[in-house]
Structure 1
Amino acid sequence: MSTAPTAASSNPPMPAAPPPSVSIVVPVFGSGESLHELVSRVQAALSPLVSGLELILVNDGSGHRSWQLIEALARSEPQVRGLDLMHNYGQHNALLAGITRARNSIIVTMDDDLQHPPEELPKLLAAIAEGNDVAYGKPQRREHSPWRNLASRLTKRAVRAALGAEMAEKSSAFRMFRAELREGFAGFRDAQVSIDVLLSWSADRVACVAVDHHPRRQGRSGYDLGKLLAVTLGMITGYSTLPLRLASVLGLLSATLGLGLLFWLLLQMLTADSQPTGLTLIAAMIALFAGLQLFAIGVVGEYLARMHFRTLGRPAFVIRTETGPTPRLENQDP
Structure 2
Amino acid sequence: MKIPTNDPEQALAFCRQLAVMCAPAAPLIPRPDLSVVVPLHNEQGTVEELYRRIVTALETQSVVFELLFIDDASTDDTARKLTELVSSDERVQVVTLARNFGHQIALSAGLDLAAGNAVVLMDGDLQDAPEILPEFLRKWEEGYDVVYAVRVGRKESLLLRASYSIFYRILAYLADVAMPHDAGDFCLIDRRIVERIRAMPERGRFLRGLRSWAGGRQIGIRVERAARFEGTTKYTLARLLNLALEGIVSFSYVPLRIASAAGICVSVFSAGLAIFYFVKQIFFGLNPPGFATLTVLICFFSGIQLITIGIIGEYLGRVFTEVKRRPLYFIRNVQGAKAPAESISVAQ
Alpha-carbon offset, residue 174 of structure 1: 1.7
Note if 1:251 corresponds to 2:263.
yes
Distance (whole Å) between structure 2 residues aligned to residue 276 and residue 117 of structure 1: 67
1:134–1:207 contact (8 Å) kept in structure 2: yes
Separation of aligned partners in 1, 2:194 and 2:175: 19
Paired amino acid for 1:173: D
Once residues 277 and 325 of structure 1 are traced to their aligned partners in structure 2, the CA distance between those partners, rounded to angstroms, is: 77
Contact 1:268/1:276, CA 8 A, preserved across alignment: no
Aligned to 1:68: 80
Task: Determine the structure 1 residue equivalent to 2:211.
Answer: 199
Counterparts of residues 130-279 of structure 1 (less than 5 Å)? 130-279=142-291
Corresponding residue SS for 1:175: strand
Task: Select the residue among 45, 49, 63 that pairs with 2:61.
Answer: 49
Change (3 A) 1:143 1:275: closer
Name the aligned partner's letter for residue 332 of structure 1: V
1:10 alignment partner in structure 2? none
Per-residue CA deviations over 1:287-323 (Å, capped at 9, x if unaligned) read: 3222212221221122222211222223322111111
SS at match of 1:223: coil
Unaligned runs of 5+ in 1: 1-19
Tell me, yes or no, if structure 1 residue 115 matches structure 2 residue 127: yes
| Maintained 8 Å contact 1:81/1:324 | yes
Confirm or deny: 8 A CA contact 1:110 1:116 kept in the other structure.
yes
Residue 104 of structure 1 and its aligned partner are, at CA, apart by 0.9
CA separation of 1:134 and 1:74: change in aligned 2, threshold 3 A? same
Local SS of the residue matching 2:310: helix
Distance across 2 between alignment mates of 1:292 and 1:24? 47
In 2, Cα distance between equivalents of 1:202 and 1:169: 17
Amino acid paired to 1:105: N
Is this contact kept in 2: 1:189–1:316, CA < 8 A? no
Shift of 1:60: 0.7
Aligned partners of 1:32, 1:167: CA distance in 2, in Å?
33
Q: Which amino acid aligns with 1:208?
A: G
Do 1:247 and 1:299's aligned partners in 2 also have CA atoms closer than 8 Å?
Answer: yes
Verify the 8 A CA contact 1:26 1:109 in the aligned structure 2: yes
Residues of 2 paired with 1:78 and 1:333: CA distance?
Answer: 25
Q: Is the 8 A contact 1:78 1:325 kept in 2?
A: no
**Partner-residue secondary structure (3-state), 1:149:** helix
- Is 2:283 the partner of 1:285? no
Query: Which stretch shows the higher mean deviation, 267-276 or 183-192?
Result: 183-192
Sequence identity, in percent?
A: 28
Q: State the 1:190 CA deviation.
A: 4.1
C-alpha distance in structure 2 between counterparts of 1:83 and 1:128, whole Å: 26
Stretches (4+) displaced over 6 A = none
- Which residue of the partner structure matches residue 39 of structure 2? 27
Structure 2 CA distance for partners of 1:146 and 1:277, relative to 1, 3 Å: closer
Q: Work out whether residues 41 and 71 of structure 2, in 8 Å CA contact, stay in contact via their aligned partners in 1.
A: yes
Q: Does 1:88 find its partner at 2:104?
A: no
Q: For residues 38-92 of structure 1, give each alpha carbon's deviation from its aligned partner in whole angstroms, at most 9, with x where no partner exists.
A: 2232222223324310110000121263122212211211111110001111111
CA distance in 2, matches of 1:227, 1:71: 29
Task: State the distance in 2 between where 1:169 and 1:86 align.
Answer: 34
CA contact (8 A) 2:94 2:337 kept: no
